[in-house]
Amino acid sequence: MIRIESVTKRYPDGTVAVDRLSLEIPDRSITVLVGPSGCGKTTTLRMINRMIEPSEGTILLDGVDILRQPVNTLRRSMGYVIQNAGLFQHRTILDNIATVPRLLGWGKEKSRARARELMERVGLDGSLAKRYPYQLSGGQQQRVGVARALAADPPVLLMDEPFSAVDPVVRKGLQDELLRIQDELGKTIVFVTHDIDEAVKLGTMVAVMRTGGKLAQFAPPAELLSSPADAFVEDFLGADRGIRRLSFFPSAGLELLTSPVVAVDATAEQIAARDTTDAPYLLVTDLDGKPLGWSEPQDLTAGEIEPDQLLPYGRPFVAATDSLRAALDCAVLSPTGWAVGVDTDGRVAGVVSQQSIGEAIRGAHAEGRADGTAEQAATVTR
Amino acid sequence: MNEFFDLPSDLQHSYLGLVALHLREALLPVLAGLLVALPVAQLCVRLRWLYPPVLWVTTVLYAIPSLAFFVILIDYTGLSELTVMIPLAVYSLVVLVPAIVDGVRSVPQETLAAATAMGFGPVRRYVQVQLPIAAPAIIAGLRVASVSSVSLVSVGMLIGNAGALGNLLNSGMIYNQPRLVWLSVIGTAVLAILVDIALIVLRELVTPWMPRGSRRTTRPTALKDAAR
């Protein structure tokens, strides 16, 4: 465990970058430091591997003061990923990844074999091994950066706004990849970002910092969204935190109706037989069971259903795994106000109304309140 | 054909001998200049305040005419090649120091931070990261310094037989033989071009990591008046 004990960083000109910060970073999980620019999050990260020395306070790694081992030994035991990757432009991808193993004195062959293994792990094609950084896209370079940080299998990974400089689509891919790698490797990751959405998505614990290097709140993301400590945190979380919080409620509990679903080749009797007391619309699917669109029952004529005449169904949610946020999003995207739940193959599992989703949300809030008090007592370490 | 390259005996060299001497007198000073410039430039990178005065000193040294250097140096090193080469080495600093400083400073901050964070000590970081990335800029500086040095060697004729192709030029004028003048002038120009090409080839060899297209690194601006 990394334990930051009332650490202060004061510069000679009197600026205080970090002000009596105390933080317990749990093992084998992602702790995100988030805040506006100038809040001292990067300074805090860099004090952990001693790229910046604190003015006061101590940092303990597994109970031992980090000052007690040689600085380069400490640094080689912590992977480091930086914005824009910071690759060595004069070395091949393979040699970039093999850097720390080489510094640790591994043989050339062993280091390169390890580097090849990591390229695969971070989703880089082996054919890139002999290329130079300028030949890679920004997203690929960042993957190399992650692979390089993991090369010597360090227990700790420090990540300084690693995904800030890539476009949103690539960023989402990198975030998902990081979560997948973390599932496999279970590193202790300290992740700095200014993007609260990224913090909420990646963090097991999120430390919100405010200008002046003070800790505003340290909590799991769901708790952050449900009960921000003060106006600053609330403001920083943004206007739609209520909606975002729904990401933490599973959609599995929603009751999906299958009665308002008909196939495109349905006969007149089948259409007539649909029970429309609960649902004023029918969802038409193709022969595979994939959604085509909504229609009012009286507009459907057996044998003459035109898929492009149907009302749009939005973006269906995966019934087993997606959150209530995805379900609600689907419901508001469709003019019918109904959401389409699908299985992992995209076949319709059932439909659900905005009203039922609303009930599920109220239910989830009630549950959240019930164990929220216990949760707070357990996790608050401020 | 061979008599075309025949030289007066007072030059004490064959044509090829003069060319070899010229090359040695031009390039050894640049090499010496590089060895001095590397630590000086590194100091300037580390201590920012040092850079402007160092630039100022190299510029002033460059402004001293070689003849003045010769007058001082003859007391110590006599009428030798060394007397010619010392000023040339001093002159090369005006190009090499800024070239190296700019090159080392051009290493991106993220790259440096990443190197530090991975546990590179300062020396290892300088040798394995900063210098290789600065190589294109350093070689660009070497090109200017070498070509300028090739053209400057000729002044060595002022102190006897130390001017290589410069002495040939002098003989051509004394004996009124245009052939010798052409051999000297064209020989010097071809030598300068070949040295430049050799350095371009060297750069291609040591920087396979540079994007194509951007390989034409701009030369340092410090020495636009290279031909003195």
Model confidence pTM above 0.90: no
Which residue of chain B comes nearest to A47, CA vs CA?
B117
**A37-41, A257-261, B35-39, B221-225: the lowest-pLDDT one:** B221-225
Q: Determine the distance in angstroms separating the CA of B211 from the nearest CA of chain A, rounded to an integer.
A: 6
Is B4 contained in some domain?
no
| Arithmetic mean of pLDDT, B124-144 | 95
Report the distance separating Cα A161 and Cα A167, nearest Å.
13
ipTM: 0.82
Tell me what the pLDDT averaged over chain A comes to.
Answer: 90
pLDDT for res A375: 43
Is B22 contained in some domain?
yes
pLDDT band at B221 (very low <50, low <70, confident <90, very high): very low
Report the distance separating Cα A190 and Cα A98, nearest Å.
22
Share of chain B above pLDDT 90, in %: 71
| Numbered residues of chain A with Cβ closer than 8 Å to any chain B Cβ | 49, 51, 71-76, 78, 80, 82-92, 99-100, 103, 132-134, 145, 148, 158
Is B149 contained in some domain?
yes
DSSP line for B142-206: HHHHHHHHHHHGGGGGGGSTT-THHHHHHHHHHTT-HHHHHHHHHHHHHHHHHHHHHHHHHHHHH
The CATH code of the domain that includes B201 is 1.10.3720.10
pLDDT (tens digit per residue) in B103-133: 999 999 999 999 999 999 999 999 999 999 9
Give residue B161's domain range.
Answer: 13-223
Residue A28 has pLDDT above 80, yes or no: yes
- Do the Cβ atoms of A86 and B129 come within 8 Å? no
Residues of A in contact with B112 (CB under 8 A): 86
Which residue of chain B comes nearest to A135, CA vs CA?
B211
Pairing of strands A78-82, A156-160: parallel
Single out the residue of A201, A69, A93, A215 nearest to residue A147, CA to CA: A93
Is B2 contained in some domain?
no
Question: ∠ at Cα B181 (B177, B187), nearest 5°?
Answer: 140
Residues of A in contact with B132 (CB under 8 A): 90
pLDDT for res A297: 83
- Say which residue, A188 or A257, is predicted with more confidence: A188
Neighbours of A355 (CB within 10 A): 11
What burial letters (b/e) apply to A104-125, b meaning 16+ CB within 10 Å?
eebeeeebbebbbebbebbbbe
> Using an 8 Å Cβ cutoff, are A210 and A232 in contact?
yes
> Using an 8 Å Cβ cutoff, are A45 and A190 in contact?
yes
**B123 and chain A: CB distance < 8 Å anywhere?**
no
Q: Which domains does chain A have, with CATH numbers?
A: 2-248 (3.40.50.300), 261-360 (3.10.580.10)
Residue A273 has pLDDT above 90, yes or no: no
Report the distance separating Cα A1 and Cα A27, nearest Å.
5
Which residue of chain B comes nearest to A132, CA vs CA?
B209
- Do the Cβ atoms of B118 and A99 come within 8 Å? yes
Total structural domains in chain B?
1
Is B7 contained in some domain?
no
Residue type, B212: R
Is B6 contained in some domain?
no
Residue A64 has pLDDT above 50, yes or no: yes
**A277-281, A290-294, A361-365: the lowest-pLDDT one:** A277-281
Is B205 contained in some domain?
yes
Is B63 contained in some domain?
yes
Single out the residue of B216, B194, B228 nearest to residue B88, CA to CA: B228
- Do the Cβ atoms of B209 and A90 come within 8 Å? yes
